Amino acid sequence: MSEERRLEVLRAIVQDYVGTREPVGSRMLVERHSLGVSPATIRNDMAALEELGYIAQPHTSAGRVPTDKGYRAFVDQISTLKPLSVAERRAIQNLLDEAVDLDDVVERTVRLLAHLTHQVAVVQYPSLTRSALRHLELVPLSPQRLLVVIITDAGRVEQRVVETAQEVDPGVVAELRARLNVACVGRRLEAIKGPLAALPEQFAPEQRALVEAVSDQVLDTLRMESEERIVMAGTANLARSDVDFTRTIGPVLEALEEQVVLLRLFSEMEEDTVAVRIGAENHHEGLVEASIVASAYGGEDASEGVARLGILGPTRMDYPGTMAAVRAVARYLSRILAG
């Protein structure tokens, strides 16, 4: 059996099983696909695929279903993703363009992704530690209180109040605002530590306490990991897929409730345009029958993304369609945040 034909037969099995939920037999393959070989040859090919662990026979059924290894081989041979339809792309653009702030963008994105894929959608909020500064603003609230506004390139806005022992000089505030933006804008956390540490020396001794307090607030805000969080939508889609789990969806739902589990899985996924983890590759007992398709967003490429978004569903899913939807939504979201 040639490698090329083996992959062709495997691809046909995956497509039919995803579409019908029924184990696939050789007769079905002959009827539905132009494989160019005899039924006997297809049966031999299927026997070889089963021996290699790409397909398996559930119960006493005459048909075969893909294994995790089979799905992985299928996904790995997807060289190009079919673009979404014009209507789908327009729907994505229209929905996200109407968002009014970052929270609205994230909420719209997760609902959109769940609708497009009919799976559970997960969107991670932009990470402060991986974001670059877009602008820093200082707003006097009273003679001894200063509001520090931190705006990242991912559209995230954080506000902190600095209390001072002496009255704030408006001229000093204006100078500090200008120097902070020169030192920090366009840079990430690691790149601004040095410039901020050197900033107090650029001011008179009596002004340095204020400069240090503001600098500390900026660094502390960007270091925060407690605000790493995710938003989910489409859990009902998982319930409708209950037949795809040989056990129950209970372990999957429990894993979804633990945000730290999903955040860890996101962080472990490859820095590809679209990454796919199948079944046992998730290294979590509750997700051994689930797959995750994810992509980074918020950067010029996957390696520079500030967060991830993706879907979670049963291993029996439309991988090409799901991967295309995840990629498209990630690109639109990146474009909006960059604007």
Question: In terms of Cα–Cα distance, which of 220, 207, 196 is closest to 170?
Answer: 207
Per-domain residue ranges for the chain? 3-67, 86-125+228-338, 129-223
Question: In terms of Cα–Cα distance, which of 269, 288, 276, 272 is closest to 321?
Answer: 276
For residues 281-305, give the mean pLDDT: 82
- DSSP H helices in the chain: 3-20, 26-32, 39-51, 68-76, 86-97, 102-117, 170-184, 189-198, 208-223, 235-240, 250-257, 259-268, 319-338
CA 164/CA 217 separation, integer angstroms? 13
CATH number corresponding to 129-223:
3.30.390.60
Determine which of 59-63, 70-74, 332-336 has the lowest per-residue pLDDT on average.
59-63
3-state secondary structure 63-97: CEEECHHHHHHHHHCCCCCCCCCHHHHHHHHHHHH
- Burial of 54 (C-beta count, 10 Å sphere; 0-12/13-18/19+): buried
pLDDT digits (tens, 9 = 90+) for 141-186: 988 899 999 888 767 788 899 998 888 888 999 999 999 999 888 8
Q: Contact 197/184 with Cβ under 8 angstroms? A: no
Token look-up 């729907």 returns 91
Regarding the domain delimited by 86-125+228-338, which CATH topology (the fold level of the hierarchy) does it fall under? Beta-Lactamase (3.30.450)
Amino acid at 179: R
Helix (H), strand (E) at residue 150: strand 145-152
On the question of pLDDT at 30 being above 90, the answer is no
Determine which of 13-27, 69-83, 133-147, 248-262 has the lowest per-residue pLDDT on average.
248-262
Greatest mean pLDDT range, 70-84, 218-232, 314-328: 314-328
Task: Say what the pLDDT of residue 280 is.
Answer: 92
Amino acid at 109: T
On the question of pLDDT at 70 being above 60, the answer is yes
Q: Contact 25/82 with Cβ under 8 angstroms? A: no
31: pLDDT confidence band, cut at 50, 70 and 90? confident
pLDDT digits (tens, 9 = 90+) for 103-127: 898 899 999 999 999 999 999 987 7
Residues in a beta bridge with 162: 146
Regarding the domain delimited by 3-67, which CATH topology (the fold level of the hierarchy) does it fall under? Arc Repressor Mutant, subunit A (1.10.10)
**Rounded to 10 degrees, what is the CA torsion of 242, 246, 250, 254?**
-110
